[in-house]
Amino acid sequence: MGREDEEARVRDDNDSASTKQSVPVPSYVLVRDNDCQIVREYTPITYETNHVDLLIKCYPEGSMSSKLTHLVSGDEIDLRGPELHPGFDLAGVKEIGMVAGGTGITPMYQLIKYILTQAPHAADTRLSLVYTNAYEVDILLRKELDLLQQHFPSRFKVTYVLDYPPSPQWPGWRGFVGQQVLQESLPSPLRDHEVKILVAGPDGLVKHVAGEKTTFQEQGPLRGLLARLGYHADQVYKF
């Protein structure tokens, strides 16, 4: 396990046959804390045939995240999956726009990395990501995202948004995510079925951008900024 500021990366090594399978993307795993009978969903940032990498944001008050970030080599965790997110479908999609906040970057990163590096059938798919955080230090996977953007400049564009930029010279957007940054950064809704917008992050951000997600299984009605920009419900998926 590695640690950077308030994040931790947890690797679960497993050589059993159960890990040697076709992994759906984007997928999640269930992590169970047998001490307090808590189960949490996490999206792996890497899922190989013999290991899973989880990116954990450290919250002192969070019983599961606190336990995971204090693991040492050799500790065991109860991990089940992977499972495909319910109702997720990118059939026929040529342009994917993403809006992520905080740890909502994990399903986006999993999908971005897969499409750009492991999916030859999606070689003409273009991706754009709007990634919002409070402070620059909160940006997770920044090195990995910037590297992918450098390697695939015609297919992947990332736009960073900070509530509190470090200086007036900050090159990204500033303030809470608004209609203008989405309009300028995401593919147009007028391209119909060829466009899909994905949203992930804190409940407040998801509600502001796309309307509240009612349950894990139910998307809920499309509202918020994306509705005002003219997107249709079948063009938007909320993680």
| Known binding residues for FAD | 40, 42, 55, 57, 64-65, 106
Q: What share of the chain is helix, strand, coil (3-state, %, to 5)?
A: 30, 30, 40
At 126, give phi and psi (nearest 5°): -110, 145
**Sequence ranges of the binding site:** 40, 42, 55, 57, 64-65, 106
Q: Residue 238: how many CB atoms within 10 A of its CB?
A: 24
Q: Which residue has the tokens 């938007």?
A: 236
Is the peptide bond between 44 and the residue preceding it cis, with omega within 30 degrees of 0?
A: no
Q: Which residues pair with 237 in a beta bridge?
A: 198
> Residue 73 in 3-state DSSP?
coil
At 80, give phi and psi (nearest 5°): -125, 145
- How is 3-24 classified by DSSP, letter by letter? EETTEEEEEEE--SGGGSSPPP
Burial of 153 (0-12, 13-18, 19+ CB in 10 A): exposed
